[in-house]
């Protein structure tokens, strides 16, 4: 069974508690939390007070995806929000090795995210330190965008890099996931699929999460 991480970015925030409760009762493996600062990406989502409110209700691990500059400044705050996984962008971290160690020292799992144009080979000297790699299959900043097909090629190369280095990292894919793209990603060995608009615009989100889990 593939792990599903529904993205609350596409939820109705006036009903946040109800949506978190729905995810608690679903087959989702974790909750994906998208933080945007309006600088690293051309959009602003929400910050720590909102994550704390989610954490109070959540009975699944929080996968926090930071689309922000200087994520290393916030390692302790992310931990204090109850994050299980802290995802930082490769493109936002000139001192990636140090940030990864800081995340692990803070007791969280360390994940590195790659934008669509960043080659997976950029991780070859840190892959054995990582718990997870997140491949963006859209340009980060917005939900509801179309899946970039080249992601499949990157996924194959990443799986190969993981196998040849003996890394324990799992692979998560984020953006444009639906039943069709999800099936292709599952067949290529993706471990975790993020799904935002496909889940929250569905007439029956619980069933949609369960269908994706069974891919």
Q: Which of Zn ion, ligand DX5, none is residue 141 near (CB under 5 to 8 Å by kind)? A: ligand DX5
Q: Is 89 helix (H, G, I), strand (E, B) or coil?
A: strand
Between residues 35 and 120, which has the closer beta carbon with respect to Zn ion? Answer: 35
Residues in contact with ligand DX5 by the rule CB under 6 A:
7, 9-10, 32, 34, 65, 138, 140-145, 174-177, 194-198
| Least distance in angstroms from the C-beta of 181 to ligand DX5 | 10
| Least distance in angstroms from the C-beta of 87 to ligand DX5 | 9
| C-alpha–C-alpha distance, residues 3 and 138, integer Å | 19
Residues in contact with Zn ion by the rule CB under 5 A:
34, 65, 174
Q: Which of Zn ion, ligand DX5, none is residue 10 near (CB under 5 to 8 Å by kind)? A: ligand DX5
- Give Cβ neighbours of residue 209 (< 8 Å, ≥ 6 apart): 4, 6, 23, 26, 27, 28, 195, 199
Set 12, 129, 174, 211: catalytic member: 174
Backbone angles phi, psi at 64, to 5 degrees: -100, 115
Beta strands (DSSP E) in the chain are: 3-6, 31-36, 62-67, 83-89, 109-114, 132-136, 170-174, 192-195
Between residues 89 and 98, which has the closer beta carbon with respect to ligand DX5? Answer: 89
Between residues 176 and 205, which has the closer beta carbon with respect to Zn ion? Answer: 176
Set 34, 63, 129, 131: catalytic member: 34
| C-alpha–C-alpha distance, residues 146 and 176, integer Å | 5
Identify whether 37 is a catalytic site residue.
Answer: no
* Beta bridge mates, 146: none
Between residues 143 and 205, which has the closer beta carbon with respect to ligand DX5? Answer: 143
Identify whether 34 is a catalytic site residue.
Answer: yes
| C-alpha–C-alpha distance, residues 112 and 136, integer Å | 11
How many of the other CB atoms lie within 10 Å of CB of 133?
28
| Least distance in angstroms from the C-beta of 105 to ligand DX5 | 25
Q: Which of ligand DX5, Zn ion, none is residue 143 near (CB under 5 to 8 Å by kind)? A: ligand DX5
Catalytic positions are: 34, 174
């Amino acid at each position: 069974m593939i792990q599903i991480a529904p993205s609350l970015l596409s939820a109705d925030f006036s009903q946040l508690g109800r949506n978190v409760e729905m995810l608690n009762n679903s087959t989702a493996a974790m909750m994906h939390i998208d933080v945007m600062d309006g600088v690293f990406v051309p959009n602003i989502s929400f910050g720590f007070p909102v994550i704390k409110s989610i954490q109070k209700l959540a009975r699944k691990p929080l996968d926090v995806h930071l689309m922000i500059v200087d994520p290393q400044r916030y390692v302790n705050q992310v931990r204090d929000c109850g994050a299980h996984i802290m995802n930082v962008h490769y493109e936002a971290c000139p001192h990636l090795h140090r940030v990864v160690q800081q995340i692990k020292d803070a007791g969280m799992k360390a994940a590195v995210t790659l934008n669509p144009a960043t080659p997976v080979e950029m991780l070859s000297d840190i892959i054995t330190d990582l718990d997870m790699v997140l491949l963006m299959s859209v340009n980060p900043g917005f939900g509801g965008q179309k899946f970039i097909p080249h992601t499949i090629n990157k996924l194959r190369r990443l799986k190969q890099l993981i196998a040849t280095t003996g890394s324990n990292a799992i692979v998560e894919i984020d953006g444009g996931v639906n039943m069709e793209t999800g099936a292709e990603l599952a067949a290529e060995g993706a471990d975790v699929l993020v799904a935002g608009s496909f889940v929250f615009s569905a007439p029956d989100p619980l069933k949609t999460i369960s269908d994706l889990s069974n891919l």
